[in-house]
Amino acid sequence: MSLFLNLPSELGMLIIGHVLDAPLSPPRAPFESDGITR
């Protein structure tokens, strides 16, 4: 459970990176990466 609670912080940074790349990449890219992460 502790690891799961620590994941959000790392996922947040990853999301920020995806958001920065979002303008260059299609909106479906972050969704696909989310599926791969899970």
How many whole angstroms separate alpha carbon 23 and alpha carbon 7? 25
How distant, in Å, are the alpha carbons of 11, 13, 37 from that of 19? Answer: 12, 10, 16
Question: What pLDDT sits at residue 14?
Answer: 82
Question: What pLDDT sits at residue 26?
Answer: 56
Write out pLDDT tens, residues 7-38.
677 778 887 777 776 565 555 555 555 555 55
Helix or strand run (H / E) with residue 17: helix 2-21
Question: What pLDDT sits at residue 33?
Answer: 56
| pTM (2 d.p.) | 0.32
